[in-house]
Chains A and B, each alone.
Chain A
């Protein structure tokens, strides 16, 4: 009797089955709500560099168009182009001018190149800079960037911060 049962062919069952997707739909709805909350309506999209800590502020103004300058603990960038490297959060002597230690010649030249095409864009005409800088940087380092940007005809500084107190 038991041997017969072992070799008994299983009864044919239908190959299709109804998948219960209720819980999957619930999860997706929650995900959609979360994504709608974080949906960005700002016209300018910016991403801080990995490891960079932007300062927090209670300002609620969205970023505007401007020349994107980034000063992290390790480097100075204009857009994606690295202009100078930092050592112990300060610019190295090779990246500063011999006569004027506050002047950064590479940054000045790059900003000057941009300023040559200033008829194209409004923010270049106004001399607007979007500065993303690490919160741990000393003012001495930032001052060199502000000084050089002012010299190159970019006096309007917009400081990028993170939302929060």
Chain B
């Protein structure tokens, strides 16, 4: 027993963690992150589309294809009017105002039905009247771009694979048809 030293062992297993270096790193990171943060996320509406859809849109512009032309008029006083010109004949359908405001859900249903009957058409000519707000125009474009129900897809012919494929796009190509007109 002589010469034997009794060592004290800490049996609790707890120790003090030094968090100061971690805090120093975070303090340096926070200003960098603050500078590069986007608190308002901005996006753009453009026509970056899959190749198959792009080809289909190019086909839409081919006058020899004789595809239907779709024109959508927006009027704060009368609602939406959809004109489909096919083989020289024009068909008109209207989406009336609901409680004095534009009825976007009804427009969406009409456009889905129209796309089902004309799956080859991807372009829509938009004709807003002078007083229509820009926010309503963007919302109309949203309603025309894709179906809300993600289960709904439309057939499109892929020339490269030589077969029909499915696409969720309805009318992604929007043209402001009256932007160069003198009167509205």
Give the interface of A toward B (CB within 8 A).
18, 21-22, 24-25, 28-29, 31-32, 35-36, 38-40, 42, 45-48, 53-64, 102, 130, 133-140, 142-143, 146-147, 150, 158-163
Q: Are A146 and B42 in contact (CB under 8 A)?
A: no
A37 to B: closest C-beta gap in Å:
9
* Neighbour of A142 across the interface among B26, B134, B146, CB < 8 A: B134
Which residues in A have their C-beta under 8 angstroms from that of B29?
32
- Looking at B1-9, B92-100, B158-166, B174-182, the stretch in contact with chain A turns out to be B174-182
Which residues in B have their C-beta under 8 angstroms from that of A45?
38
Interface residues in B116-163 (C-beta closer than 8 Å to A): 128-135, 137-139, 141-142, 145-146
A22 to B45, CA, bound (A): 46
A54 to B42, CA, bound (A): 9
CB within 8 Å for A55 and B184 given contacts A146-B179, A160-B42, A160-B44: no
Q: Are B37 and A57 in contact (CB under 8 A)?
A: no
Further 19 A-B residue pairs, CB within 8 A, beyond A35-B37, A147-B179, A150-B179: A25-B23, A28-B30, A31-B30, A32-B33, A35-B34, A39-B37, A40-B37, A55-B135, A56-B135, A57-B138, A57-B139, A61-B43, A61-B45, A136-B133, A138-B134, A159-B45, A160-B43, A162-B43, A163-B42
Query: Which interface class (under 10, 10 to 19, 20 to 34, 35 or more) fits B?
Result: 35 or more
User: Which chain B residue shows the least CB distance to A54?
Assistant: B42
A24 to B38, CA, bound (A): 25
User: Which chain A residue shows the least CB distance to B26?
Assistant: A28
